[in-house]
Amino acid sequence: MGESHAGGFELQFAKFLDEAPDVSAFAKNYLAIGFKLDYVKADGDLSTYTPDFIVRTADGTVWVVETKGREELDLPQKMARLRQGCADVTAASQAEGGPSYRFVYVDQEGFQRNPPQTFASLVAGFTEYKDDQSMMTLRQLAAEPPTIPTRTSWYLTDLAEARGKQELFTRQSPQKLKVLREHALIESAVSSNRIEGVEVDQSRVGTLIFGKPALRDRDEEEVRGYRDALKLIHEIGAKLSVSQAAIKRLHKLCRGDIWDAGQYKAKDVDIIQTYADGRSRVRFKTVPAKQTPKFMAETMELWERGLVEKWVHPLVLLAALNLDFLCVHPFRDGNGRVSRLLLLQSLYHCGFEVGRYISLERLIEEHKERYYETLEQSSARWHEGKHDPWPYLNYLLFILTQACKEFERRVGEVKSPRGEKTALVETAIRRHTGSFRIADLQRECPSVSVDLIRHVLKRLKGDEVECLGRGHTARWQRKPK
């Protein structure tokens, strides 16, 4: 087996296929088999091309593999024809319920420099001549272990310590934890929707989250739907798989009865930024609608493989999954909200339950400008695989670190001298560096009554806060120490 000039590479590759755990079957494509493609050579002449291997993987996909020990003049033309051939055969096959056909080009030098252990890691590492080189964060992590930035290492160290304390804290003060769970549920449903411009009457929030009132409008439906998605994640935890089916289910819940809830986008959707003067620009071109199912399937596959093969720390993998999801942008609308649900869901798979007690969505809203800034930084040149993922990855690790610190602060003391809802108001007050109104505290503490907020302000007045006016719209501020 093998071409005379390949130096035994085809034999080496066949051995890899024979040992790869995710390869169901493979064959060397000899001339006698008759599988060949017509193509136009670089000089314009017509010729035929015989690919090297045919592989069927465990998921049923059929792969056509071209291996090369040396570069050829006509290689780009051959690969372009192979790409088109696979696309044509896939369209005909799937119309009858058959498998998809894909191709991969493997050069000898790259294969021997970084020998893959599975066929999936081979595909992730060898992307030359493909027209679908998007979703590059997880692919890059699969292909080559990254150098972890110093800041990332600091976050991971802090988070490892926080996880070690998690079980101790969750066994303490059941009443306090119950209040935190209820408060986090409200904050998450309200904040995640508010980031997207969806707001509801503050006086209705508690009823929407914990009651069953008749819904007044579309905004209330979306807040209620997000609550349902949160409850599903919290009730099932890590038993809810990170999969396409689960993601579509979360989208359907948080989008309610809208016509395309739970369905991938049918048309291409770009992310548009609009300026105050009316000008607009395409901030990011997302993955085309036709390619979305394929890319989402690969995203889920890489996530599962990353957890098993441990290319990087699970929290780095989690953040990379979130970045790639936002860049794929699989839905017409609601991608931001689903990305935050996906963050919470994948945290359970990494052994972190902090999102049950502290609202990650509220923390993201509080650092919204940094969210958009780092997302733009890390999505630039994502399609070419030349992006810098670390600004956004570090942002998410920062959010998780802040959540763990707040959780420890809130339940670290077994005995609390005051009620937990009073502590919620005091925490909200101390977060303000400038002036604020009672309405601001209501928005930040939706599970707390306005009467209790006024009571706390009255108690702190003179010592810690001062009132700058009169009436219910008066502004307050903390007194300098």
Lowest pLDDT segment from 95-109, 121-135, 189-203, 262-276: 121-135
Residues 233 and 355 in one domain: yes
Nearest of 467, 337, 316, 341 to residue 392 by alpha carbon: 316
- Check pLDDT > 80 for residue 304: yes
Residues 352 and 450 in one domain: no
In one-letter notation, the amino acid at residue 132 is D
Residues 288 and 341 in one domain: yes
Residues 316 and 256 in one domain: yes
Residues 378 and 290 in one domain: yes
Mean pLDDT, rounded, for 379-389: 87
Residues 69 and 127 in one domain: yes
pLDDT value of position 4 = 46
Of residues 111 and 134, more confidently modeled: 111
Residue 141 lies in a domain: no
Residues 368 and 302 in one domain: yes
Residues 257 and 389 in one domain: yes
What is the token pair recorded at 471?
Answer: 């009436």
Q: pLDDT tens digits, residue range 345-358?
A: 999 999 999 999 99
- Check pLDDT > 90 for residue 365: yes
CATH of the domain at 237: 1.10.3290.10
Residue 71 — pLDDT band, cuts 50, 70, 90? low
Residues 21 and 105 in one domain: yes
Q: What pTM did the predictor assign?
A: 0.68
Residues 217 and 172 in one domain: yes
CATH of the domain at 447: 1.10.10
- Count of domains for the chain: 3
Given 131, 158, 189, which residue is the final one in a domain? 131
Listed in sequence order, the residues at least 6 apart from 321 whose beta carbon sits closer than 8 Å to its beta carbon are 138, 242, 299, 303, 342, 346
Q: Which residue's entry shows tokens 């036709």?
A: 290
Residues 239 and 377 in one domain: yes
